[in-house]
């Protein structure tokens, strides 16, 4: 069974050009426009204002959290609010220390360097980055073997903004060199309604408030998904010719397989596998990934955080376990009493 296909509006890998252009257009440009994450916003504001008052580059910032919660958006805001140019790169594009050296040595003074998916950078580049972050200096190795020498190179001061969906994979020395780590949380329904309202105005889409609230409750706490579902509802109302009301939302979401809790097909496939093939768990991550035909990393960073957050799944030292609410949500009876499973201390991880 394959669970991610191109028609799924909630699939994390769905990034066609039009989707990306759409996302770009809806991205808030300033901290004031950025909805929710009040704590992180306050912390960032302080950090940026202090840097500005002292006329220096802001500390390095790490943005951690599940996909679609606003990491790239915040990185752009950091550059915008500090009035500095932004350079974009990503972990997978930095496969050698030389790639990073080329990037760092071409930065202009004060530039904000955004490295997305920073946990996927090559090890050798990571080590170069430690020194660059701390002392704005790198050592470039010239030659190989016994004749190799290292040439020190001074860099222009810069602010590194790293983003990761897997902060646990970052080596400690790298994590420690960020002056501030922002942990982004899932958004609540009121915040998502605000995100949707803003998007509806920008798209000039007339949709009623109850309809927006319904989308807000079914978008996995994620602004990116909220915006995508809004677009599907707009398509639905347009094609069916009706009003953009709660009925249109229900119709569109049913068509696209988004259930009342906002679970998409991959979420449901994972829970179904745990409930039906593994008797409710515990089941190991890799076994689970194979059984739904997905990468373990996708299950861990995309699917699980939300299922844990809404209390359908717990992560225990012995594996993943479906909670009693999961059994109830799918209307499946326990084969035997699994009620003795204690929630684990690792649930919040
Ligand atoms: N706080 C917010 N207020 C309004 N819109 C938001 C907010 N956060 C995110 N968005 C919207 O959600 C979209 C996705 O956000 P963004 O690209 O920043 O997520 P991300 O965390 O970088 O995801 P990924 O891990 O997949 O790269 C943006 O285009 C933006 O329109
Ligand atoms: Mg991003």
pLDDT value at 62 more than 70: yes
Cα(185) to centroid(ligand 2), Å? 15
- Verify whether residue 164 is a known catalytic residue: no
- Please check the confidence at residue 338 and state whether its pLDDT lies above 50: no
Q: What is the pLDDT of residue 2?
A: 42
* Mean pLDDT within 263-271: 92
> What proportion of the chain, given as a percentage, has pLDDT over 90?
70
Query: What's the CATH number where 199 sits?
Result: 1.10.8.60
Average pLDDT over residues 218-227: 95
Note if 71 is an active site residue.
Answer: yes
pLDDT at 61: 97
Average pLDDT of 96-120? 94
Q: Is 315 annotated as a binding residue?
A: yes
Pocket test for ligand 1, best of 19, 65, 72, 73 (most atoms within 8 A of CB): 73
Count CA within 13 A, CB hemisphere, residue 30. Answer: 5
Final residue belonging to a domain, choices 183, 202, 217: 183
Provide, rounded to the nearest whole percent, the portion of the chain with pLDDT above 70. Answer: 90
Average pLDDT, whole number, for the chain?
88
Is 165 labeled as catalytic in the residue annotation? yes
Ligand nearest to the CA of 188: 1
Atom index in ligand 1 nearest the CA of residue 184 equals 21
How high is the pLDDT of residue 1?
A: 41
Question: Residue 13 — pLDDT band, cuts 50, 70, 90?
Answer: very low
In which band, very low, low, confident or very high, does the pLDDT at 243 lie, cut at 50, 70 and 90? confident
Task: Record the tokens describing residue 58, joined without a space.
Answer: 């802001």
Residue 106 has pLDDT above 80, yes or no: yes
Does 6 qualify as catalytic in the annotation?
A: no
d(CA 219, CA 7): 16
Same domain, 84 and 177: yes
CA of 69 to the centre of ligand 1 (A): 5
Residue 311 Cα to ligand 2 midpoint, Å, equals 26
Mean pLDDT of 188-192: 96
Residue 276 covered by a domain: yes
Mean pLDDT along residues 61-85: 95
User: Which three-class secondary structure state does DSSP give residue 60?
Assistant: coil
Residue owning tokens 């955080």: 305
Q: Are residues 170 and 212 in the same domain?
A: no
Rounded to 10°, the helix 223-240/209-216 angle is 130
Residue 240 vs residue 116, higher pLDDT: 116
CB neighbourhood size of 53 (10 A)? 8
pLDDT tens-digit profile of 32-55?
A: 999 999 999 999 999 999 999 999
Question: Known binder of ligand: residue 208?
Answer: no
pLDDT for 148: 85
Q: If you measure from the C-alpha of residue 296 to the centroid of ligand 2, how many angstroms do you get, rounded to a whole number?
A: 20
Question: Please, is 340 exposed, middle or buried when counting C-beta atoms within 10 Å of its C-beta (0-12, 13-18, 19+)?
Answer: exposed
Neighbours of ion ligand 2 (CB under 5 A): 71-72
Domain stop point among 121, 155, 183: 183
Q: Whose CA is nearest to atom 23 of ligand 1?
A: 68
Are 332 and 291 in contact by the 8 Å Cβ rule? The answer is: no
52 labeled binding residue: no
Q: Is residue 11 part of a domain?
A: no
Q: How confident is the model at residue 143 (pLDDT cuts 50, 70, 90)?
A: confident
Instruction: Report the pocket of ligand 1 as residue ranges, CB < 6 Å.
Output: 23, 26-28, 34-37, 67-73, 163, 165, 195, 223-224, 227
Of these residues, 10, 84, 116, 193, which one is catalytic? 116
Among 8, 57, 71, 218, the active-site one is: 71
45 and 161 housed in the same domain: yes
224 marked ligand binding residue: yes
Q: What pLDDT, on a 0 to 100 scale, did the predictor assign at position 12?
A: 47
- My answer on whether 175 and 60 are in the same domain is yes
Residue nearest to atom 15 of ligand 1 (CA): 70
Residue 72 annotated as binding? Answer: yes
Ligand nearest the Cα of residue 88 is 2
pLDDT band of residue 331 (cuts 50, 70, 90) is confident
- Evaluate whether residue 93 is within a structural domain: yes
Q: Would you put residue 185 in left (φ > 0), alpha (ψ -120 to 50) or beta?
A: beta
- 117 is a domain residue: yes
Q: Would you list the DSSP string of 154-220? A: E----EEEEEES-GGGS-HHHHHT-SEEEE-----HHHHHHHHHHHHHHTT----HHHHHHHHTTST
Q: What does the alpha-carbon distance between residue 324 and residue 347 come to, in Å, rounded to a whole number? A: 15
Dist. CA 169–CA 192, nearest whole Å:
29
**pTM of the predicted protein model:** 0.86
- Full residue range of the structural domain in which residue 282 is found: 265-348
| Per-position b or e across 186-204, b if 16+ CB within 10 A of its CB | bbebebbbbbbbbbbeebe
Domain CATH code at residue 174: 3.40.50.300
Whether 154 and 42 share a structural domain: yes
Would you say residue 15 has pLDDT above 60?
no
What H or E segment, with its residue span, contains residue 89?
strand 86-90
Do 207 and 166 lie in one domain? The reply is no
Same domain assignment for residues 272 and 159: no
pLDDT tens, 149-164?
888 999 999 999 999 9
Q: Which of 57, 164, 165, 323 is catalytic?
A: 165
- Cα separation of 298 and 316, whole Å? 18
**Ligand (nearest to CA of 119):** 1
Residue 95: the pLDDT is: 94
Answer whether residue 6 shows pLDDT above 70. Answer: no
């Amino acid at each position: 069974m394959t669970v991610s296909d191109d028609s799924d509006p909630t699939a994390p890998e769905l990034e066609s050009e039009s989707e990306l252009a759409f996302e770009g257009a809806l991205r808030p440009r300033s901290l004031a426009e950025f909805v929710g994450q009040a704590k992180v916003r306050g912390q960032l504001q302080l950090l940026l204002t202090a840097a500005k008052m002292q006329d220096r580059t802001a500390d390095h910032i790490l943005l951690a959290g599940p996909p679609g919660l606003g990491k790239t958006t915040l990185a752009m805001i950091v550059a915008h609010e500090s009035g500095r140019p932004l350079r974009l790169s990503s972990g997978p594009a930095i496969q050698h220390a030389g790639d990073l050296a080329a990037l760092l040595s071409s930065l202009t003074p004060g530039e904000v360097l955004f490295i997305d998916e920073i946990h996927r950078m090559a090890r050798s580049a990571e080590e170069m980055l430690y020194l660059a972050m701390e002392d704005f200096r790198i050592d470039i190795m010239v030659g190989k073997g016994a004749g190799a020498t290292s040439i020190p190179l001074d860099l222009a001061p810069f602010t590194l903004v790293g983003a990761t969906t897997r902060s646990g994979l970052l080596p400690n020395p790298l994590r420690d060199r960020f002056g501030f780590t922002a942990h982004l949380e899932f958004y609540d329904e009121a915040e998502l309604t605000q995100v949707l309202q803003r998007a509806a105005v920008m798209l000039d889409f007339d949709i009623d408030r109850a309809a927006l609230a319904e989308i807000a409750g079914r978008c996995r706490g994620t602004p990116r998904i909220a915006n995508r579902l809004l677009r599907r509802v707009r398509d639905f109302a347009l094609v069916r010719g009706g009003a953009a009301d709660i009925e249109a939302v229900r119709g569109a979401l049913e068509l696209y397989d988004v259930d009342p809790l906002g679970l998409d097909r991959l979420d449901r496939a994972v829970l179904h596998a745990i409930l039906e093939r593994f008797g409710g768990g515990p089941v190991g991550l890799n076994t689970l990934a194979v059984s739904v035909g997905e990468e373990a990393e996708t299950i861990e960073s995309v699917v699980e955080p939300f299922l844990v957050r809404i209390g359908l799944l717990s992560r225990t030292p012995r594996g993943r376990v479906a909670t009693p609410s999961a059994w109830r949500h799918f209307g499946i009876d326990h084969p035997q009493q699994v009620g003795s499973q204690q929630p684990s201390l690792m649930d919040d991880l």
